[in-house]
Chains A and B, each alone.
Chain A
Amino acid sequence: MALRTEELMLNMGPQHPSTHGVLRLLVTLDGENIVNARPYIGYLHSSVEKMMEHRTYLQNVALVDRGLDYLTALANEEAYLLAVERLGGIEVPPRARWIRTLMLELQRISSHLVWLGTWGNDIGATTVFLYCFRERERLLDLFEQATGGRLHYVYFRPGGVYKDLPAGWTDRVLEFCDEFPGHLQEYGELLTGNPIFLARVQGVGVLPKDAAINMGACGPVARASGISFDVRKAFPYEAYGEVEFDVPTQEAGDCFARYLVRMEEMRQSVRIVRQAIARMPDGEIRAKVPVAVKLPRGEIYARTESPRGDLGVYLVSEGADRPYRLKVRAPSFANLYALSEMMRGWKVADIIAILGTADIVLSDVDR
């Protein structure tokens, strides 16, 4: 007599410690194998795009900070202001461009540290979590000294930055840059020296290159699948055209490849930070832009490379002091869509490991 088998529906979330926010996954299981994993989103939807239509261009800087990805507030400000400045023809002074580049790379490191720590925690490496948050704390202190905020900075303004760097601040950043590669080495040894970690991530959750492009994956997820595309290199903004850095790419497309890409990105960020400090000129930090700045009629799509990927802002202006329509192309939204492809065919125990490497932030997905 043949045993009767049937598929099992497993509901994960919307409240679950390893979804890092309010994500619901409806997983269809055949025994232990994942037949399908369907994400349900919208639990954190706040209609930021609608709110932005009712606020001035300056007020919206504060809104993109918290309305989008809360771990990368500066990257959100950058994408939004790039659209505003390019549409308005506002010239950012050279010093401000370099300060922004420096800040964006520190933000990238701090965001990747949260990813590495929480992902490590999810798959059982609690030590890594504690180490990563120790280093991130130093970065948050640095942000606080320069901008006054730890998570929501409102530091970039139309035409430049809010205020100049405090005295001696760059020395403290350089101190961090001296120590940080050693810490990265340490995290790497903690993880890759552990056979359990390797067994859980190597060859697991493969996203093939064709599928990655077709499903709109971006950022480190796409680069781990062999797509060597980085907006900072392809369409340089701020001072990225003038600094030297490599775009790490892996071919395997598995969880381990995504891990390797992000680890190398942190090293490259340190490289950019050093160059930014060495080459930053003196001078103005903010162009003269009126508080109630009005933009000419027109439309623009500005793309940036946020820590999570291709963050774009499509801005339509009708000549007023606020956007007529503003669309945020969120990298987490695109990467979460590709998640079902990464998960199909793997075991139920791999869900957490795979979800972690997508590095999504739900406020960025839902907006």
Chain B
Amino acid sequence: MSWELVEHLRARFPEVEPFPRGEPSPAEEPTAHKHDAAKAPVHHVPGAVVPAGRLAEICRVVRDEAPFLLDYCSFVTGVDRPETGQIEVVYHLFSMTARHGLLLKVRVPRDNPRVPSVSGIWSAANWHEREAYDLFGIAFDGHPDLRRIMMTDDWVGHPLRKDYVYEDPRWLVDLVAQRQREAEGLGPGERADPGLS
């Protein structure tokens, strides 16, 4: 759709790293069960990896200057990659006038994920950054109101990180096990305790 846009971006900022385009998989492949995990990922969205230090500057340019004119921020989110020790901060930008989109990615260390906030550039990023802060623990420097948005203020941990595991409380595990035992040997529609409706 707009891979030319990525070329323009690289011409302007040589340090950005465009996504490898790769070859889209042929139609019969999903039925073949043969996916090579070592194969390079296919990027269906045009975009580039951007150094964290240049993010604010690049964002200002892609919003204001032709040919980008990306005046709309669709979302900001994160992808946790424990195997590389990094978190990818993902920005999807779109132009309401030119009708093209661009995905920007910033790679930051997992133990101290920190990027400049773009909420001053696109107001829409405000809540999306709060969500990424809440669920991934990414700190957005310069954000006007960086609080948790989904979880309660006293929540511990960041649920969308890969090493965050939710465990049911003991009483719930026991209750489920007990119900399971009660239900064993019953036919369809039969109840362990007929008194309960």
Contacts and interface: CB of A to CB of B under 8 A. Distances in A.
B160 A49 contact: yes
A318 B176 CA distance: 33
Interface of B: 22, 24-27, 29-31, 33, 35-37, 39-45, 71-75, 77, 79-80, 90, 92, 96, 99, 101, 103, 122-124, 126-127, 135, 148-152, 159-160, 164, 166
B124 A42 contact: no
Contacts of A234: 99
Contacts of A333: 127
29 contacts: A45-B150, A49-B160, A50-B160, A88-B29, A90-B30, A216-B122, A216-B123, A216-B124, A289-B30, A295-B30, A295-B35, A296-B39, A297-B39, A298-B41, A298-B43, A299-B41, A299-B42, A299-B45, A301-B45, A301-B101, A312-B75, A312-B92, A314-B90, A314-B92, A318-B41, A319-B39, A324-B79, A334-B124, A366-B150
Interface residues of A, number: 49
Contact of A301 (B72, B92, B149): B92
Interface centre among A87, A288, A294, A297 (most CB of B within 10 A): A297
A213 interface: yes
Q: Ordered nearest first, which 10 A-B pairs have the shortest CB separation?
A: A216-B124, A298-B42, A300-B44, A297-B41, A88-B30, A45-B150, A42-B150, A329-B75, A319-B35, A298-B41
A257 B148 CA distance: 34
Contacts of A294: 30, 33, 35
A17 interface: no
B124 to A, nearest CB: 3
B68 to A, nearest CB: 15
A337 B74 CA distance: 13
B31 A289 contact: yes
Contact of A337 (B79, B126, B150, B166): B126
A327 interface: yes
Interface string A298-338: 11110100000010101011110000110101000110010
Nearest to B153: A42
A227 B103 contact: no
A45 B103 CA distance: 26
A89 interface: yes
Given A91-B27, A294-B35, A214 B80 contact: no
A346 interface: no
B45 A296 contact: no
A184 interface: no
Nearest to B125: A216
A216 B72 contact: yes
A86 B43 CA distance: 11
A1 to B, nearest CB: 38
Contacts of A297: 35, 37, 39-42
A277 interface: no
A337 B31 contact: no
